[in-house]
Amino acid sequence: MNKIKFPLVVVGSQWGDEGKGKVVDILAKEADYVVRFNGGNNAGHTIVLNGEKFPLSLLPSGVLQGKKLFISQGVVIDPAVLLREIDFFLKRKMKVDLMIDPRVHVVMPYHKMLDAATELWKGKKATGSLKLGIGYCYEDKNNRFGIRVEDLIDPDSLAEKVKMYLPLKKLQITKVFGQPADLYETQIVKEYARYGTLLKKYVGDVSETIQNALNSHAELVSASDFRNRSRNKFGMTKGSKKILFEGAHGTFLDAVFGTYPYTTAVYTISGSVFPYVGIAPQRIYSMGIVKAYTTRVGNGPFPTELLNSTGDEIRKNGNEFGTVSKRPRRCGWLDLVLVRTAARLSGFDYLTLTKLDVLSKLKKIKVCTHYILYNKKIRELPAGMKDFAKCKPVYVELRGWNRDISASKELKNLPQEARKYIKFIEKELQIPFRFVFVGPEREQTIKI
């Protein structure tokens, strides 16, 4: 296998659900620390181990490898969901070695109500939000109206903030949106204080801890005898911590560079790791996760969408139903305009191709190489979303392989047509694949 360098950030290159959970699980074997740095429990990362499914929405996907786990300030937590996930592993006598940054914001019940009310208000233009309160939690964070983990674990501070914020939130839900708001201050304070008591032992400064772990590497790099030190296969000097940053969502769900407003509420591109963890800018390698076709949950333009039996077949074979919401995912051909744009935004050093097995039964496979916009060929997403809605995809058609590949262990075992598909993508993007997935299990991985 070719070398993969750390520190490494894993980023979805499409609209989410690319298979980041499995990638992080595999890479975590080599890492010391796994840091989840953005999003909330609207993310759903599924790892499959010996036939058993582990759906994670807040715990970093390094948990199954027993690694040191971190939730940094860029994440928002629903404490009940996080506690459920922790409990799930503790009950199975598995280690949960977790640190949560005190600056992390807490999703409150009124955030969920506001999410649902806003979707109703938007009507046909609804985002397709999971209504888990994520957008509103980030809104309060940015507007300095939020409750952080440091408040959650301090009953006085929690009570003071709930008392200050709740009346306004109730007015907003009832008077602005005309929706019911059965929210009671004492009940909320009691419930969330209990969560705080349970989570207190995990709270620590993630920013400082990760920066220090990265500094130990920097010191070695600047040491005069650096060149003489032994290096392991991951390109790190002995003694430094290998840090893996787990991104949630996907590039086109990014709140700015995604397909606005049909996005989530945070940055999802690799550079966001610096402020979202609280570390200084430095060289961090990045891996883009590319599903062999495209899916999207929720609304918004989707140029390569297949609204036909091929789309249905991909959905069925790929089990493309939301991890969190169970909603059927919209399916379409691989769109290299999206992935190329994602590669530019996040500077991918490596790629992983996932779910190649799902295409096995198709006779012909199309790949979108560019769009036509105003009679011109474009190779990257336009900046304006009105233009994006007008883009027409242009395809190259490749032959399918019509053979089960789910037991393939090496590239050379794959049918020629499947290898051609991989090579075609690699050539278009000029970035090397490090893994190709041919099934959900750890072993169903071709290492390159």
Q: How many CB atoms lie within 10 A of CB 378?
A: 15
Q: Rule CB under 6 A: is residue 287 a binding residue for ligand IMO? A: no
**Dist CA 205 CA 278 (whole Å):** 10
- Contact, 111 vs 188, CB < 8 A? no
Q: How far is the CB of 43 from ligand IMO (least distance, A)?
A: 3
Q: Rule CB under 6 A: is residue 204 a binding residue for ligand IMO? A: no
Q: Is the dihedral of CA 155, 159, 160, 164 positive or negative?
A: positive
- Residue 113's alpha-carbon distances to 82, 132, 239, 269, 376, in angstroms, are 19, 8, 48, 28, 44
Query: What would the two tokens of residue 398 be?
Result: 């490749």
201: left (phi over 0), alpha (psi -120 to 50) or beta: alpha
Q: Rule CB under 5 A: is residue 17 a binding residue for Mg ion? A: yes
Residue 129 or residue 369: which is nearer to ligand IMO going by CB? 129
- Residue 50's alpha-carbon distances to 418, 443, 444, in angstroms, are 26, 10, 11
From the list 25, 32, 45, 387, the catalytic residue is 45
The window from 32-40, 109-117, 233-241, 352-360 that contacts ligand GDP (CB under 6 A) reads 352-360
Residues 311-350 that bind ligand IMO (CB under 6 A): none
Binding residues for substrate: 323-329
Distance of CA 20 to the CA centre of its chain: 6
Q: How far is the CB of 24 from ligand IMO (least distance, A)?
A: 11
Q: How far is the CB of 131 from ligand IMO (least distance, A)?
A: 7
Could you give the residue ranges of the DSSP H alpha helices within 231-335? 273-277, 309-317
Which of 46, 129, 207, 209: binder of ligand GDP (CB under 6 A)? Answer: 46
Q: Rule CB under 6 A: is residue 438 a binding residue for ligand IMO? A: no
Residue 368, strand partner residues: 335, 395
What, of ligand GDP, Mg ion, ligand IMO, none, does residue 19 touch, CB below 5 to 8 Å by kind?
Answer: ligand GDP
Phi, psi of 241 (to 5 degrees): -85, 135
Whether 111 is catalytic: no
Residue 264 or residue 354: which is nearer to ligand IMO going by CB? 264
Residue 199 or residue 446: which is nearer to ligand GDP going by CB? 446
Q: How far is the CB of 224 from ligand GDP (least distance, A)?
A: 43
**Dist CA 355 CA 19 (whole Å):** 8
Residues 94-133 that bind ligand IMO (CB under 6 A): 127-130, 132
Whether 17 is catalytic: yes
Query: What would the two tokens of residue 447 be?
Result: 């290492």
Binding residues for Mg(2+): 17, 44
Residues 171-210 that bind ligand GDP (CB under 6 A): none
132: left (phi over 0), alpha (psi -120 to 50) or beta: alpha
From the list 17, 115, 151, 254, the catalytic residue is 17
Residues 29-68 that bind ligand IMO (CB under 6 A): 42-45
Which of 113, 134, 162, 338: binder of ligand IMO (CB under 6 A)? Answer: 134
- Contact, 40 vs 76, CB < 8 A? yes
Query: What would the two tokens of residue 282 be?
Result: 């430095």
Q: Rule CB under 6 A: is residue 357 a binding residue for ligand GDP? A: yes
**Dist CA 227 CA 220 (whole Å):** 10
Which of 4, 6, 7, 17: binder of ligand IMO (CB under 6 A)? Answer: 17
Q: How far is the CB of 157 from ligand IMO (least distance, A)?
A: 27
Q: How far is the CB of 437 from ligand GDP (least distance, A)?
A: 3
Residue 48, strand partner residues: 53, 441
**Dist CA 39 CA 248 (whole Å):** 6
Which of 4, 6, 16, 393: binder of ligand GDP (CB under 6 A)? Answer: 16
Residue 128 or residue 382: which is nearer to ligand IMO going by CB? 128
Q: Rule CB under 6 A: is residue 355 a binding residue for ligand GDP? A: yes
How many binding residues for Mg ion (CB under 5 A)?
3
Q: How many CB atoms lie within 10 A of CB 99?
A: 18
**Dist CA 291 CA 270 (whole Å):** 18
Which of 12, 44, 300, 439: binder of Mg ion (CB under 5 A)? Answer: 44
Q: Which residues are catalytic?
A: 17, 45
Chain residues binding ligand IMO by CB under 6 A are 12, 16-17, 42-45, 127-130, 132, 134-135, 248-250, 253, 264-265, 297-298
